[in-house]
Structure 1
Amino acid sequence: MPALPSPYPTHQLTLDVRPRVPVTLDNFVAGNNEALLLALRRQLGARDGSWLYLWGTAGSGRSHLLRAAAAESCAAGRPGAYLSAAQGATLQMEDDLLVALDDIDQLDAEGQAALFRALIQAREAQGSLILAGKLPPQHLALREDVRTRIGQALIFEIQPLDDDGKGVLLIQNALARGITLDADIVEYLLRHGRRDARWLMGVLDALDEASLTQSRPVTLPLLREVLREDCEPELPF
């Protein structure tokens, strides 16, 4: 059967993704990222001014990991803050603070200056940072002094999930919504759908909404209807 066309219209399946489940380190499907998760958990307790850098493609789980790290830091009684690149200029390293700064490749000049100051001040403040971007440090379009300092971090590339991992991701997130996904639904999505996790989670959101609004169980026919509304030409049967 032919694969589904790409790119898809993004109004429903990609950009309007609003997770209904808590973002935690425990519900991140690790796949081949066990060492990364171990280092991230250690960083939550670091008070030595160190920083950790994660990089990976869109949909790899960067934001999930950073949001979860900041939330778990706060839950453990340590101040933690998640900042997007647009908030980068507001970054200030305070005592004992853990900062999770996302999409650093998108930082403007003020954001880069704020990050440079934070990297210098982190040790004295007994704080730590977790940084994330879409490229390895040497390829980041940032100030040379910022890029050099980031390169001194412990660096991990977020490894993409294989099909088994994506299946676990779908089933786990569906169960958190009170949905049981039959094997044929998971197989259909993995065989015919786009391969990135963000798209799969968007499909799950749309499928959940369709099930609720139409008072119908989640089945393969319902999935096909949901996808037909967002994809052309017609899907395979």
Structure 2
Amino acid sequence: MRQLILNIRPHVECRLDNFVPGDNADLLAALAQQLARRDGSVLYLWGEAGSGRSHLLHAAVAAAHQRPAQFIAADAWQTPIETDGALIVVDDVQATDAEAQGDIFRALIRARDLQSSLIIAGDAPAHRLPIRDDVSSRIAQGLTFEIKPLADEQKAATLLQHARSRGMTVGPEIVNYLLRHGRRDLPWLMAVLDALDEASLSLSRPVTLPLLRDIIKDATPAQTDNNA
């Protein structure tokens, strides 16, 4: 049974159309527009852990058709590409070191000449970021949105609707346990429900709390550490 559970781990494909907007409709519209801009502009998104920052950034790179796009995480820094028309996407800017901040500053300065654009995300407003002042001030000059998290009631309603769409019978105890013990971002929570449904069918077991605990417990670190 354990091997079956291990083979049905939650996986999230980061797309713009599977991010539940809640009160973020204007943000998503601005993000879609930024994907097409080649004017040196920067869009800054900030929000608390679990608000969906990383999901939106990965989705933006996936949606950047017909142009070079680069996703860079603070904990795996790469020098931004200097390619005409590129989209540079930087996650967790608050965690970047001095070298990375220098790279970001140069990318911001050169973006207009290269007809590039940037999307940057962090955990606080630009003026409160613990980074170089010249970098934070450049970021603050762009369009800024706070990612507004869904309330637990909104998450619960969305999860129940998602379960019904799969033909699952899910009691409130399942959803409540997910909200208390799972990650906070909704796409991951929905992926857990998908994995729970698949495990239930594969094992010919009903959807129960013990089965849900097995799914969450056996999720790999690579699938649980990206909770922004």
TM-score, normalisation: structure 1: 0.74
Question: Structure 2: which amino acid aligns with 1:29?
Answer: V
Paired residues of 1:208 and 1:218 also in contact (CA < 8 A): yes
Q: Report what 1:111 is aligned to.
A: 100
Shift, 1:221, TM fit: 6.0
* Structure 1 counterpart SS, 2:38: coil
**Structure 1: runs of 5+ lacking an equivalent:** 1-17, 231-237
Paired residues of 1:174 and 1:181 also in contact (CA < 8 A): yes
Shift, 1:191, TM fit: 7.3
Q: Report what 1:180 is aligned to.
A: 168
Which stretch of the first structure deviates more once superposed, 198-207 or 27-36? Answer: 198-207
Select the residue among 137, 154, 157 that pairs with 2:143: 154
The verdict on how the C-alpha distance between 1:217 and 1:24 changes in structure 2, with shifts beyond 3 A counting, is same
Q: Distance in 2 between matches of 1:203 and 1:22?
A: 12
Select the residue among 21, 29, 41 that pairs with 1:30: 21
Shift, 1:57, TM fit: 0.8
**Structure 2: runs of 5+ lacking an equivalent:** 1-8, 219-228
Question: Structure 1: which amino acid aligns with 2:97?
Answer: D
Asked if residue 129 in structure 1 is aligned to residue 122 in structure 2, the reply is no
Paired residues of 2:10 and 2:195 also in contact (CA < 8 A): no
Q: Report what 1:4 is aligned to.
A: none
Which stretch of the first structure deviates more once superposed, 191-200 or 180-189? Answer: 191-200
Q: Distance in 2 between matches of 1:39 and 1:228?
A: 34
In the alignment of these two chains, the number of paired residues is: 209
Select the residue among 30, 36, 41 that pairs with 1:39: 30
The verdict on how the C-alpha distance between 1:228 and 1:96 changes in structure 2, with shifts beyond 3 A counting, is closer
Q: Percent of pairs identical after alignment?
A: 51
Q: Distance in 1 between matches of 2:92 and 2:145?
A: 15
Shift, 1:162, TM fit: 1.7
Q: Distance in 1 between matches of 2:10 and 2:135?
A: 33
Q: Distance in 1 between matches of 2:154 and 2:138?
A: 33
* Structure 1 counterpart SS, 2:33: helix
Shift, 1:163, TM fit: 2.9
Asked if residue 48 in structure 1 is aligned to residue 36 in structure 2, the reply is no
* Structure 2 counterpart SS, 1:26: helix
Shift, 1:197, TM fit: 2.7
Q: Report what 1:143 is aligned to.
A: 132
Q: Distance in 2 between matches of 1:187 and 1:81?
A: 36
Paired residues of 2:51 and 2:185 also in contact (CA < 8 A): yes
The verdict on how the C-alpha distance between 1:227 and 1:72 changes in structure 2, with shifts beyond 3 A counting, is closer
Q: Report what 1:77 is aligned to.
A: 66
Shift, 1:158, TM fit: 0.4
Paired residues of 1:66 and 1:100 also in contact (CA < 8 A): yes
Q: Report what 1:196 is aligned to.
A: 184
Which stretch of the first structure deviates more once superposed, 196-205 or 83-92? Answer: 196-205
Q: Report what 1:94 is aligned to.
A: 83
Paired residues of 2:72 and 2:78 also in contact (CA < 8 A): no
Paired residues of 2:88 and 2:118 also in contact (CA < 8 A): yes
